[in-house]
Amino acid sequence: MSALTIADVERIAALAHLDLTADEKTRFARQLADILDYAQQLQRVNTEGVPATAHMHAAAGMERDDALQPSLSPQQAVANAPDAAVDAGLFRVPRVIGG
Amino acid sequence: MADRAAASARAIRDDVTAKRASAVEVCRDALQRIEASNPALNSFLLVDPEDALARAAKVDARIAAGEAPGALAGVPVAIKDNLCVRGMKTTAASKILETYRPPYDATVIQRLEAAGAVIVGKTNCDEFAMGSSNENSAFGPVRNPWALSRTPGGSSGGSAAAVAAAQVPLALGSDTGGSIRQPASFCGVVGLKPTYGRVSRYGLLAFASSLDQIGPFARTVEDAALTLGVIAGPDRADATSSREPVPDLMAALTGDVKGLRVGVPRTFVSEGVDEGVKAAFDAALAVLERAGARLVDIELPHAPYGVPAYYLVCTAEASSNLARYDGVKYGYRSKAAADGLQAMYTHSRSEGFGAEVKRRIMLGTYVLSAGYYDAFYLKAQQVRTLLRRDYDRAFEAADVIAMPTSPIPPFGLGEKTDDPLQMYLADIFTVSANLAGVPAISVPGGFVEHDGDRLPIGFQLAARPFDEPTLLRAADAYQRLAAWPTIAPPS
């Protein structure tokens, strides 16, 4: 039985940039423990020397020439950004340095 | 065209090409049907009649100007809301993308439109395609057209329901662990997940990049083949798209399955399967056998580990892919007073994502974190290799592999929402095709009675990588012989 403490849940949430409510923490602690418990059955499989499959790509990928192609304008690229300075083509975020 | 609601994509294409009907007329009919049935079904999140009719008018203008009409001329198509259509709101059924309007078209959209198809709107789905019941949509669940109290399946539930209710003859979905095939099964229509790499994923909002694949929903295997022929093929915008040539898929539909070896993983499909589903599966096998196919017993020894391997791999990839939703580049930004950039990220994500998406990001973050990576993520990737080898071995003895699509018929809305693990277990027969990268299809495979509802059951076939011709030939032959109805009676 993998036990997941509230502290574990808080640590993972911080890594994932999520801020959970007290109720979410309790629920996720139980549900994630259930799922991880179930996933423990993979330990029964002998994987000695078995390579990992990370992707299905064929050996030769779709490499292309490193040539200029038409692309979005800076204005189009930031058009969906909240609080963007669209005309300047800039994203805007809360102040990072100084105060 | 006597009954346009029931017309296949091919019939519409033929009529529009021969100028027996205009794309605008066909589109207007579809819009009327959507307007009539959408309040009950909630299958569409967005329909913009003016925009759809303008797209149809362009097709008519092209034909009038003497241009080649295209393989899908005038065919109305619904698009799952995790596929980018330029200027059209694309939300992935998430609050975090509620206002997002993509500045570009997904490659599949460009190809559909180049073939004369008419995009009529965006369909509901589970948030970021995470779910098996469409109940994780931020904009309310879809209802199953065959039984409104039940789920249409997920995550592409809106696309499946739209085709089953004859709102449209064709829709696109995406399938990461069964998200095309399972809703196709639940709604009694055809759903095709192509080989990984067959269709460009450019413009698909990524969930799990090594598993995601775009594919069609239709009421006939022929229409699914027609559509795959249009959207398949290499794309310079997707490095994972395959250079494998796309064969003539329509020519593959010969109706002949004599001597075809149909592999049946008897051990794997013998446990935990609903009696009605089991009976329908056996009956479907008998249909193929009577048509001259040969049933062979095969083993997929690692298939029972598919669900745990899948949920570790897909959540790990999701936790990485969904890191991009941070309130900076697009989508929702929290109004909460944010004490700096990090706090802004965290507030925006916490308010923007729904419960299942948070759960999967948490699980994925956990299995990738120091101390757990080897035991969970790496182990799952190794089991994935063993499962791929199982398929390779099975395809030495069989040309296609048959399984039920879902171990259970469509279940009631709300029935499984409290227990995510129970929901995941129902993906047992679909996840392995994604893990192995092979093409698979769900075709209507009969009905079962449950509590007074007549519920569709899907029959699933899988084939070797890039052998869609054999897959579609077998599925088409079965569908022609079984001929199950594919349009739900109006509710």
ipTM for the assembly: 0.95
The count of domains in chain B is 1
Residue B487 in any domain: the answer is: no
For residue B243, what is the domain's CATH number? 3.90.1300.10
Summarize pLDDT for A50-60 with one digit per residue, the tens.
999 988 875 55
> Does residue B1 register a pLDDT over 50?
no
Residue of chain A minimizing CA distance to B363: A32
> Does residue B3 register a pLDDT over 90?
no
> Does residue A47 register a pLDDT over 50?
yes
Q: What is the CATH number of domain A6-44?
A: 1.10.20
Predicted local confidence at residue A20, as pLDDT = 97
Q: Catalytic: B185? A: no
Band (A96; pLDDT cuts 50, 70, 90):
confident
Residue B44 in any domain: the answer is: yes
Of A47, A61, A96, the CB nearest to B383: A47
pTM of the complete model: 0.97
> Does residue A4 register a pLDDT over 80?
yes
Residue B296 in any domain: the answer is: no
Which residue range(s) make up the domain with B454? 4-254+439-482
> Does residue A62 register a pLDDT over 80?
no
Summarize pLDDT for B307-346 with one digit per residue, the tens.
999 999 999 999 999 999 999 999 999 988 668 899 999 9
> Does residue B92 register a pLDDT over 70?
yes
Summarize pLDDT for B348-387 with one digit per residue, the tens.
999 999 999 999 999 999 999 989 999 999 999 999 999 9
Of B234, B312, B382, the CB nearest to A62: B234
Of B234, B235, B361, the CB nearest to A18: B361
What is the pLDDT averaged over residues A53-82?
Answer: 84
Summarize pLDDT for B9-64 with one digit per residue, the tens.
999 999 999 999 999 999 999 999 999 999 999 999 999 999 999 999 999 999 99
What is the pLDDT averaged over residues B234-254?
Answer: 95
Predicted local confidence at residue B2, as pLDDT = 47
Summarize pLDDT for B413-463 with one digit per residue, the tens.
999 998 999 999 999 999 999 999 999 999 999 999 999 999 999 999 999
According to the 3-state scheme, what is the secondary structure of chain B? CCCHHHCCHHHHHHHHHCCCCCHHHHHHHHHHHHHHHHHHHCCEEEECHHHHHHHHHHHHHHHHCCCCCCCCCCCEEEEECCECECCECCCCCCHHHCCCCCCCCCHHHHHHHHCCCEEEEEECCCHHHCCCCCCCCCCCCCCECCECCECCCCCCHHHHHHHHCCCCCEEEEEECCCCCHHHHHHHCCEEEECCCCCECCCCECCCCCCCCEEEEEECCHHHHHHHHHHHECCCCCCCCCCCCCCCCCCCCCCCCCCCCEEEECCCHHHCCCCHHHHHHHHHHHHHHHHCCCEEEECCCCCHHHHHHHHHHHHHHHHHHHHHHCCCCCCCCCCCCCCCCHHHHHHHHHHHHCCHHHHHHHHHHHHHHCCCCHHHHHHHHHHHHHHHHHHHHHHHHHCCEEEEECCCCCCCECCCCCCCHHHHHHCCCCCHHHHHHCCCEEEEEEEEEEECCEEEEEEEEEEECCCCHHHHHHHHHHHHHHHCCCCCCCCC
Contacts of A78 in chain B (CB under 8 A): 329
Predicted local confidence at residue B249, as pLDDT = 98
Contacts of A9 in chain B (CB under 8 A): 362
Residue of chain A minimizing CA distance to B341: A94
Domain regions of chain A by residue span: 6-44
